[in-house]
Chain A
Amino acid sequence: MSEFFAMGGYANYVWPAFGITAIVLMVNLLAARRQLRQTRERLQLRLVRQSGKRVNT
């Protein structure tokens, strides 16, 4: 098992490469979810404000 993690002496290069790629995948997923959710929330707020104005006038 430790032989596997040693990666034949290349551990310092192989694992960071895989780690960074995993982070990039994760960031993409979270950023896309966040963007969709924030857009929805922002537009919902705008919609409420608009209909609120219409009622007042």
Chain B
Amino acid sequence: MWTWFFQLASPPHFYRMAGSLVPWLLWPALLLIVIGSWGGLVQAPADYQQGDGYRIIYVHVPSSYLSMMVYVTMAVAAGIGLIWRIKLAHAVAASCAPIGATFTAAALVTGMLWGKPMWGTYWQWEPRLTSELILLFLYFGYMSLRSAFNDLNQSDRASAVLALAGVVNVPIIHFSVLWWAGLHQGPSISKIDAPSIAFDMLWPLLVMILGFTLFFLGVLAMRVRGEVLEREFHSRWAQDVLRGASPMEAG
């Protein structure tokens, strides 16, 4: 188990493994997202209150979930990089940010499109929406802080501190609908014992969430490969890969 862990953390192994993993993540992701969309748009019945408008849930919830999950992944990786000085961890953290930012934007825009017909407004400065917007700014801040340094080590360490400080926003987003009265509805599936949503409506959502998760992992693997190659430029294995003189090139 530990040998496996150390092998994974070694850049050349990671580079090769991630490369062969990418298609195994992205193709199932595509399949799940197609099945989930079909389930959500065609198979699931209309809601008795919101009619067909509620179907936005099938893109809004997976995007929102990723926006937070990617941030937590980024903060954990940044923390590991900061404490144990593992370069691969910093590479993961740096690669999370642009992905997380785009899904936060998707969560906000799909939420606005859902809010207009149901609440009568695209935007309101209420707790859930505001804290999700802050999440978007945290991603932007993280990325601009990274690019503000010429030295990669400094950039890694400073941005890691920001990522860790910003992680307090994630539970605030999650619990905002319970702590403060706002427009946003409460949780529908996280109440494990009794989900307040019918199975016909629930399964496409779960399939979408799984598909989005695999998609994130696939895209992350691609980005981390680039980061690792860049950071390991001076090592023998990376130069072999770049010359195409090695079986490492696969993928």
Contacts and interface: CB of A to CB of B under 8 A. Distances in A.
A44 B245 CA distance: 12
B171 interface: no
Contacts of B63: 21, 24
Contacts, number: 97
Contact of A13 (B53, B223, B230): B53
Nearest to A28: B219
B102 interface: yes
Interface residues of B, number: 41
Given A8-B46, A24-B63, A14 B222 contact: no
Nearest to A11: B52
Contact of B102 (A8, A17, A28): A28
A43 interface: yes
Contacts of A35: 222-223, 226
Given A13-B117, A17-B110, A29-B219, A8 B53 contact: yes
B138 interface: no
A36 B251 CA distance: 11
B116 A25 contact: no
A47 B243 contact: yes
B103 A43 contact: no
Interface stretch (B54-62, B76-84, B157-165, B192-200): B54-62
A10 B52 contact: yes
- Which of B37, B102, B113, B116 has the most CB atoms of chain A within a 10 A radius of its CB? B113
A10 B53 contact: yes
Interface string A14-40: 101110110011011101110110011
B29 to A, nearest CB: 9
A14 B53 contact: yes
Interface in B116-140: 116-117
Contacts of B219: 28-29, 32
Contacts of B229: 39-40, 43
A36 B53 contact: no
A17 B58 CA distance: 10
Nearest to A50: B239
B71 interface: no
